[in-house]
Amino acid sequence: MCFKKVFVKRKKSIKHYLWILRNEVIKKDKDLKKGDICSVYEDDKFIGNGLFNWESKIAIRLYSFKDEDFDVPLIKERILKAYQYRKEVLPDEEDFRLVYGESDLLTGTVIDKYQNHFVVQIYSYGVEIRKEKIFQALIELFDVKSIFEKNDFRLRELEKLPRYDRLAYGELDDLVIIKENGVKFYVDIKNGQKTGYFFDHRITRRKVRELAKDKKVLDVFCYTGSFSINAALGGAKETLGIDGNHQAIELAKKNAELNKVDKICHFLVGNAFNELRNLYKNGVTFDLIILDPPPFLKSRKELSGALRGYKDINLWAMKLLKPGGILVTSTCSHHFYWQDFLDTLNAAAEDAKKNFRIIERTTQGPDHPILLSMPETEYLRTFFLEVF
């Protein structure tokens, strides 16, 4: 191949780290344009090919350690390898995150598989201008019913990309039924949050089901009810799910009916902070509480505000726990590291005047693999805390 060249001096001396920042570029071909493929050299040694965007803080996103094009054959090979890996680690599943960006060497690309419907999110300019190649690869590999682009999200702004949602191929069902750990869910791809469903919590949901027998359960930020329904299927006496999104709550009710647990699962539209205070004021307590808030932290600059938000929401949940109760609490903010989270939970527990032991920790499921060389690929952190 004959691509334009870039010479770099990386601050991170990790061979398989896939991002090269603007301030690490020391020389580049003059005619190199935004979105171009480039061959990258360090100390005159070839290190890989990447997609170039000088307007982004991440100037180069490596997609290969070989000299090869970002074309349909490579994309097909990467998607097929990603699919085979998912089938190895999730042999009974057909609904999952099919491609998780850098973790599958398809930088700037997320693909979720909902039966034969595929949702694509792109956060790289170089991939955006080649997205038809991704669609072609999917169509050649699978019996595709639809491809939907869910590109109305903040990360695209960092690459100076417009935000939009659109049907790229085929016909999209209003609601798609998927299965996860044997549980059925309706997914509203077009109108739902992110890609429509949060596959990343599959491990935590399974563990909640195992813990729920005979318990009274509170599910905060419940979205479409996945934790509530798993708890009910695990033998919970009753569950209450709270979310501020009316449309999500309506779908949660449908999901409860779909799994024949609508007599056990109850849902409430409301502000999570306000509703937790009201429950405490009314003397209501629970055996098992799940907290799965949206990210309070988008960068380390926002840490102080995020600490207050995470402490406050966990404090109220802790106050609502019965003796021996369990809190399953999560953060999906990459920049809120394990120790930050632990320190915040300690502070909340002190104010709640309760003592806890850590009985479990979980992270994102195996369809969201974490690269050893790229800590950025880990973002989901969950603690299971038991009052004692």
- Whether 332 is a known active-site residue: answer yes
Interstrand relation of 25-28 and 4-8 (parallel, antiparallel or unpaired)? antiparallel
**Residue 76, CB-side half-sphere exposure with 13 Å CA sphere:** 10
Burial of 190: CB neighbours in 10 Å, binned 0-12, 13-18, 19+: middle
**Helices 226-233, 246-258: inter-axial angle, 10-degree rounding:** 30
Indicate which residue of 38, 222, 265, 332 is catalytic. 332
How many other CB atoms are found less than 10 A from the CB of residue 242?
22
Cα(139)–Cα(134) distance, integer angstroms: 9
Cα(191)–Cα(185) distance, integer angstroms: 15
Tokens of 370: 């974490």
Residue whose C-alpha is closest to residue 176's, from 161, 165, 190: 190
For residues 13 and 42, is the Cβ–Cβ distance under 8 A? no
Kindly tell me the sign of the dihedral angle through the C-alpha atoms of 196, 232, 177, 202: positive
Interstrand relation of 45-52 and 25-28 (parallel, antiparallel or unpaired)? unpaired
Interstrand relation of 19-21 and 58-64 (parallel, antiparallel or unpaired)? antiparallel
Residues with catalytic annotation?
332
